[in-house]
Amino acid sequence: MNHLFKEISITNFRGFDSLIIKGLQRINIFVGANNVGKTSILEAAFMLSGMSNPLISNRVNYLRTASFTNLDSARYLFHNVDFNNKPLLKGMMNNGGIRKMTFSPVTIHNETNASSNFSTNQSAIRQLNFEFDQQENKNGFAYHSTLFVKNDGSTQQEADSNYHESLNALFIPVDKNDANATTNFSTLVKHNRKAFVTNALHDFDPSIESVEALPDGLYLKIVGLKELLPISMAGDGVRRMINILSTIASEDYNIVFIDEIDNGMHYSAHKLMWKTILKFVLAHDIQLFITTHNLDCLMGLKNAMQEEEHFRQLTHIYNIAKTRNEGYQAYCYGYSELKEAIDNEIEIRR
């Protein structure tokens, strides 16, 4: 529990000029209107979790779209695509420590002075300078890393050898990605950890007796079927759960980020999905950051917590909204607030 976030502040990152999220729990679910920045919150926290890795900026853009692979796509991390808006990401941890990071670009027209003021989005980024630290009450940052484009057009990184990362984080994007699930499940089989996923998957769908990793992919042993079923023939909900569970369990992660967890899930499976996820989090001592825009998904969560009281203290739901007078706000719902809102048909996604 010492490596979990309890508060995150985001400044000048993507669409946010400023946002503070307090009271983070083991499971944190972000809801809100379209384009309000739910995924951006996951990306900001993911960058904080891997702040010593200069490739993290490329990674978060690649997770959005595989076409954003070059260094210049980092311009979209700056609020309003304005390089004068220097991002600052800060996280308060359960153990009383902090994590903070910022980054600034050097454009192709300004390679010798990274501190000059420039806001044009026509100048290509040639280099990104990262600064990060784990100290709150000190000036500046103790650690530095760089990502830059070489003369031959390739990208190279220079990490700070004096810093040792203590967090291990994972980002699971929207797609079901059967290939990733196969690779990660095969790793579990090698390490004799297959039961972590098969037991959880059986909780989700009792008709699934086991999962088998064969040379040509994953197969499911289903009650009543004479032969194994290829994962590609399974329902979207089962495929999504296999991807999530096998990916999380394939390594000892502290924090996992899941974008649109309900993607591909039928509404009738949401309660089972949440029971499976909540039980899995308890067993593996991890923290989850999740987005959804689906009211049925929230109803499934409410029903799961209503039936299992020990799940109620694990979860906070945050409604992200842009207000006229106070800017971006994160309104926190615990179990009782979520139940009241759903039972009284109060809109909590806006």
Average pLDDT over every residue of 20-46? 94
Which residue ranges does the chain devote to CATH 3.40.50.300? Answer: 171-307
Mention every residue, 6+ apart, whose C-beta is less than 8 A from residue 112.
Answer: none
- Token readout for 205 is 């769908």
Mention every residue, 6+ apart, whose C-beta is less than 8 A from residue 22.
Answer: 6, 7, 330, 332
- Token readout for 100 is 């903070």
Query: Is the model's pLDDT at 112 over the cut of 60?
Result: no
| Least confident segment among 143-152, 173-182, 321-330 | 173-182
Q: Strand 88-93 vs strand 98-107: parallel, antiparallel, or unpaired? A: antiparallel
CATH code 3.30.1360.10 for 171-307: no
Query: Is the model's pLDDT at 321 over the cut of 60?
Result: yes
pLDDT in the model for residue 116: 44
Average pLDDT over every residue of 51-69? 81
Query: Is the model's pLDDT at 303 over the cut of 90?
Result: yes
Instruction: Report pTM.
Output: 0.87
Given a contact cutoff of 8 angstroms between Cβ atoms, the answer to whether 144 and 103 are in contact is: no
Average pLDDT over every residue of 9-22? 97
**How far apart are alpha carbons 328 and 319 in whole angstroms?**
10
pLDDT tens-place string over residues 180-214: 777 888 888 888 888 878 888 888 888 999 988 88
Distances (CA, A) of 243 to 27, 72, 157, 219, 315: 18, 31, 30, 13, 22
Given a contact cutoff of 8 angstroms between Cβ atoms, the answer to whether 155 and 70 are in contact is: yes
pLDDT tens-place string over residues 220-244: 999 999 999 998 888 878 888 888 8
Percent of the chain with pLDDT strictly greater than 70 = 91
Mention every residue, 6+ apart, whose C-beta is less than 8 A from residue 46.
Answer: 56, 59, 60, 169, 171, 257
Report residue 119's pLDDT band, with 50, 70 and 90 as the boundaries. very low
- Helix (H) / strand (E) element for 89: namely strand 88-93
Burial readout 22-51 (b: 16 or more C-beta within 10 A, e: otherwise) = eebbbbbbbbbeeebbbbbbbbbbbbbbbb
pLDDT tens-place string over residues 239-286: 888 888 888 877 788 999 999 998 878 788 888 889 888 888 888 778
Residue 87's closest CA among 48, 59, 53, 35?
A: 48
> What's the whole-number average pLDDT of the chain?
86
**Which backbone phi and psi does 297 adopt, to 5 degrees?**
-65, -40
pLDDT in the model for residue 42: 97
**How far apart are alpha carbons 202 and 182 in whole angstroms?**
18
- Helix (H) / strand (E) element for 247: namely helix 236-249
